[in-house]
Amino acid sequence: MKMKFISEYRIVAAVLLPLLVLAAARSLTGDHFRNGAERNALTALNGTNLVSPAALKDDMPEALLIILDGNADTESLIDRRTISLKPGEITDKQVIKTIKRENGPVILVSGDRSLVAASWMILAQKGVRDLYILTDSNDWGQFKYEFRPSATVVASEPE
């Protein structure tokens, strides 16, 4: 009876068993995103992930600074603990482990806003806590120009 059951469902078992093993292996590895994107997006929209140089100097003397490129103004940060990384190195497993071991705040520094924002999102999704972006302005969500529709475009009636 058992042999008949096994022989009938061997194709199904041959497909499902490897899939179950792969799913279990994927869930046990530590190389996937940990936090919800919604929480990180709200943090970014509220601007609570931004820190000014004055706040860094006064409130975060033990912060670790990660300099992502050579375009950042780092002259005032000479007396700080810093790590200089190339932009592609931010996803390296060893770098992420080093950052996660940090007890104090971690501040990302770059002259390129898109680079530092993408790096912040990646590290936040990887589970790094107490992560900030060093900036001298809080208007990251502000547009430089007001949107004005073109006067030459005429709205058409739906057919």
pLDDT tens-digit readout, 88-113: 888 888 988 888 888 889 999 888 88
Mean pLDDT of 109-123: 88
**pLDDT at 143 (0 to 100):** 56
Burial of 82 (0-12, 13-18, 19+ CB in 10 A): middle
pTM here is: 0.64
**pLDDT at 108 (0 to 100):** 92
Q: Residue 77: pLDDT band by 50, 70, 90 thresholds?
A: low
Mean pLDDT of 109-135: 87
